A and B are shown apart, each in its own frame.
Chain A
Amino acid sequence: MNEVLNIFVNTIKDLWLESGLYALGWRSIVMILISFVFIYLAIVKKFEPLLLLPIAFGMFLTNLPHAGMYNPELFNSETFSVGAVLKEGGLLDILYLGVKLQIFPPLIFLGIGCMTDFGPLISNPKSFLLGAAAQGGIFFTFAGAAILGFNAAQAGSIAIIGGADGPTAIYVSSKLLTGGGSVTTGTIALAAYTYMALVPIIQPPIMRAMTTKKERAVVMEQLRTVSKTEKVVFPIAVTLIIALLVPSAAPLVGMLMFGNLLKESEVCDRLVKTAQNELMNIVTIFLGVSVGATTKAENILNPNFAKIILLGVIAFALGTACGVFGGKIMYKATGGKVNPLIGSAGVSAVPMAARVSQKVGAETDPTNFLLMHAMGPNVAGVIGSAVAAGVLLSII
């Protein structure tokens, strides 16, 4: 009887020692609570829920002690090997390979390409200038991060938050941050998506402060109709020009434009539907949950994360300000034909940034429709941020 009792007690003891409850430290508790906050923001406040919810749940899973779903040591060392991850890794390790090997972000871009209408940009190519101006936020933030003591790879990863483009931020950070450390792809993605959701709050005060009422009231000329041939030529020409000039931007720009070509060709309906829906949704789930898994307590609960959050909002604000400044230059150059508010849409975040331009413009004149005009710089911003990403990858 005593022997049975001993076995029972030892088994219970072993179970307790192996349980997550035994290993649950204050760091894990704080991280789990933070993940609950993000889950709340995604579900109740609807902050980019399609990505923030998987990211937040990935954060929750990775911080459960002894679950072993994500093992950062498999990715941090210089001896990273796909075979080792497949053999020894947990579920989230295997899913994270899609991020580490830069597969998921270009696939997301393929879906975005299938959903994007570049018509407003083709009919007003000068919008590219606003898309380029808004990328100023990325490079000025790079300078700020470097001055604050981050190394080049970390500064580049933080700066790309200013592009307001989640897949691009994940793509750049997963490629640059190879040696571990306190800045991870997860922390970058978390900051990027949180700020993207906050675009309607961050941008309007900057836009109002930088423009006069007269500038905000400018009604722009109707855009010309774009032919189908122009729309079909667009993705091919953009890929050719960008990939030849900045080859490292080719995976992102190439897939974005491939998706757009599928859409505009009007002969691949089944592929377009798959890329827009099933493929995009599957990749979004894998990307979100595996990126969320990189947010281990040691990466978040340190002063560097606070710096990333601060620099992230600065990057967004600078990007918006640079875009509006570009819009003001175009306003002057065209003799008041361009509403400077559309410049802020150059920070990507499609179509939210364009909606913000429309909303702020409508505050001054409710009959003024800036949305289609703002879509030009908005989609130019996607191309611009992909080019900026390529430049950062090339230089760093």
Chain B
Amino acid sequence: MNYTDIISVVLTGLVVVFLALILLIIYFSIQGKLFSQKTTNVKKNVTPAKSKAQNNVQAVTSLPQVDSDEDEVVAVISAVIASMSLNDGKTYKVKSIKPAKNISSVRSAWAMAGLHENTTPF
């Protein structure tokens, strides 16, 4: 093969691959926008009914306040550790419980747990 043939194969190949995939990008971007608009419209239609229902609920009853007493947190953590000790036969001593630093500035613990669950199959 001479250099002209080699360069033409490389160029043609790259151009066709990019062209094909750019066409797919254009198509799916348009499709994505259409579907996103559709979803937003559905949400807009649903929202007023939802807030009305919420107002009714609030008028009837108020939600009980969650007591965030530290002793309760310690009790919950100790109960989990006690349950663990039953499983593995070891005895644990709780020396201190400190609030964890917010290691993820972006995602909450629930978001992290959700991510873990969704990415575990991979």
Interface residues of A (CB under 8 A from B): 121-123, 125-126, 128-129, 131-132, 135-136, 138-140, 142-143, 146-147, 151-152, 155, 219, 224, 227, 229-230, 233-234, 237-238, 241-242, 245-246, 351, 354-355, 358, 366-367, 369, 371-372, 375, 380, 383-384, 387-388, 391-392, 395-396
Q: Is B57 an interface residue (CB 8 A)?
A: no
Residues A151 and B28 in contact in the complex (CB < 8 Å), given A139-B9, A224-B36, A242-B20: no
How many Å from the CB of B26 to the closest CB on chain A? 8
A129 lies within 8 A of B35 (CB): no
* Assembled-state Cα–Cα distance A375/B107 (Å): 20
Tell me if A371 and B119 are in contact (CB < 8 A): yes
Alpha-carbon gap, A122 to B33, bound state (A): 11
Does B16 have its Cβ within 8 Å of any Cβ on chain A? Answer: yes
B21 contacts which of A128, A152, A227, A234 (Cβ < 8 Å)?
A128
In the assembled complex, the Cα of A355 lies from the Cα of B10 at a distance in Å of 29
> A113 → chain B, closest Cβ, in Å?
16
Q: Known contacts A122-B28, A125-B32: does B13 contact A139 (CB below 8 Å)?
A: yes
Cβ-defined contact, A387 with B21, below 8 A: yes
Q: Known: A126-B25, A245-B19. Is A369-B12 also a contact (CB below 8 A)?
A: no
Footprint of A on B, CB under 8 Å?
Answer: 1, 5-7, 9-10, 12-14, 16-25, 27-29, 31-32, 35-36, 39, 103-104, 106-107, 112, 115, 118-119, 122
A142 touches B25 (CB 8 A): no
Check B32 against A139 for contact (C-beta < 8 Å): no
A355 and B9 form a contact (CB under 8 A):
no
* B25 in contact with A129 (CB, 8 Å): yes
Residue from the set B5, B16, B17, B18 with the largest chain A CB neighbour count within 10 Å: B17
Known: A245-B19, A391-B17. A122 touches B6 (CB 8 A): no
B20 contacts across to A, CB distance below 8 A: 132, 241-242, 245-246, 387
A142 touching B10 in the complex, CB below 8 Å, given contacts A234-B28, A246-B20: yes
**B-chain residues with CB within 8 Å of residue A140 when the two chains form the complex:** 10
Contacting residue for A383 out of B5, B21, B122, CB 8 A: B21
